[in-house]
Amino acid sequence: QVQLQESGPGLVKPSETLSLTCSVSGGSTSSYYWSWIRQPPGKGLEWIGNIYYTGSTNYNPSLRSRVTISVDTSKNHFSLKLTSVTAADTARYYCARVAAFWSNYNYYYSGMDFWGQGTTVTVSS
Amino acid sequence: DIVMTQSPLSLPVTPGESASISCRSSQSLLDSNGHNYLDWYLQKPGQSPQLLIYLGSNRASGVPDRFSGSGSGTDFTLKISRVEAEDVGVYYCMQALETVTFGQGTRLEIK
């Protein structure tokens, strides 16, 4: 069973950089896509971006200028950096595996099948 | 961005009855390979979202057959037959054809 665990500071000051890591066990980051999603208090889900194990990334256009997602297959984890944070970035942050891959130029997709429990990040001075 | 619109936003249901949630997208989610890139997720109270349905109508592993997804193009429906107390939570549709976007969520509660 694949398990994901988010880690990182729970409190970040405005204008600083939010950094989170998602550690994967029971599976390998050397395949599939890996995604970050966030949920402001009392609100819905917002996709932040994802990364393929090759390092190819896709970002939410509304966050693209501030987001970097990276993967370290040797440590079996992937990371999120969000710069110049404001109170609007206060949210619960989830990492998830996207069961999708390319094979012979064909794309195979079966949803975000494993999620971490989430970590709450508050932006405040 | 593709905008996802769910209805209703609140859904009170009597146990044992069925429930349906509608999800509409601002553009077609049908790809050239014939797949609709539409998923359904359930976020139970205090938990992370969990995958119910992918590609419009495929049940994820371990999901009871009381849950079914249908639709194509821009109109999709999640149906829950014989609602149980454990089905309470917020249901989200999500499109994965382009930059991922979620619907606003539909809160299912037991009457």
Return the pLDDT at B48: 98
B102: Cα separation from own chain's centroid: 10
Chain A partners of B103 at a C-beta cutoff of 8 Å? 44
Using CB atoms, pick whichever of A61, A107, A111 lies closest to residue B54. Answer: A111
Each residue's pLDDT tens digit, A37-92 = 999 999 999 999 999 999 999 999 999 999 999 999 999 999 999 999 999 999 99
Do the chains contact at B99 and A47, CB–CB below 8 Å? yes
Each residue's pLDDT tens digit, A99-122 = 998 889 889 999 999 999 999 999
Return the pLDDT at A101: 86
Identify the segments of chain B with pLDDT beneath 70.
Answer: none
Peptide bond into A41 cis (omega under 30): no
Return the pLDDT at B7: 97
Strand partners, A34: A51, A97
Spatial neighbors of B103 by CB under 8 A, at least 6 apart, are A44, B4, B5, B6, B23, B92, B93, B94
Do the chains contact at B33 and A107, CB–CB below 8 Å? yes
